[in-house]
Amino acid sequence: MEFTKEQIEQSRGLASTLHDRRLLYLYTDPNNPTTQIEKGETKKLIKLTRTRLELEKLNKMTDKFEEEDIQNLTWFFQATEDTDKRKFIFGSTSIKKLEEVQNGKDWIKWMRDIFQKNEDEMRKLAEQEIKRQKPSKKEAFKPKYKIRIKIQKSSSNSIKICRTK
């Protein structure tokens, strides 16, 4: 099933509204009547949820998944469990890319490629560090840096650090 831009925007708006309402009611003051749940609102939300669920049940998947699609989806679900990756996945850059490609399959592949390139680069740097030659005895005891610290007595007791090589 293909989603149109309007459907994505509508779902995004609904999700944003539901999230805002949830936060409003979650952190409400029981003594303040202005933030109380409106009469019948919970029944409407439950009915909406059930209707959406039934619609999804009617939309049976007709496309067969290729092996790469399954791998990408598996990666996506695992990546969203990682807090740092999740920040990027649902961040503005990534969402703009989704709007640009207008296809979840291509969007997930794009993200996976970015994370794979980053991982490959980190692996290469780690391998270079592991292969680095151990310094000779003379080099091992030679200081890499000299640091000069200047302490000035003032009302704020500030410390200035001046680095020299």
145 assigned to some structural domain? no
CA nearest 149: which of 127, 134, 164, 130?
164
Domains: count for the chain: 1
Rounded to an integer, what distance in angstroms lies between the CA atom of residue 165 and that of residue 163?
7
90 assigned to some structural domain? no
For residue 68, the tally of other CB atoms under 10 A from its CB is 11
19 assigned to some structural domain? yes
10 assigned to some structural domain? yes
pLDDT higher at 19 or 159 = 19
The pTM assigned to this predicted structure is 0.47
Does residue 117 register a pLDDT over 90? yes
Two tokens, residue 1: 């099933």
Say what the pLDDT of residue 132 is.
86
- What domain range includes position 40? 1-62
Say what the pLDDT of residue 155 is.
66
- The secondary element (H helix, E strand) that includes residue 16 is helix 5-26
CA nearest 85: which of 103, 111, 110, 105?
111
137 assigned to some structural domain? no
Q: What percentage of the chain carries pLDDT values higher than 90? A: 16
35 assigned to some structural domain? yes
Q: 104-131 vs 92-101: helix axis angle to the nearest 10?
A: 130
Q: Which residues contact 145 (CB under 8 A, 6 or more apart)?
A: 163, 165
Say what the pLDDT of residue 75 is.
92
22 assigned to some structural domain? yes
Residue 105 near residue 72, CB atoms below 8 Å: yes
pLDDT higher at 121 or 134 = 121
Tens digits of residue pLDDT in 55-89: 776 665 545 778 898 899 899 989 988 888 888 88
50 assigned to some structural domain? yes
Say what the pLDDT of residue 33 is.
67
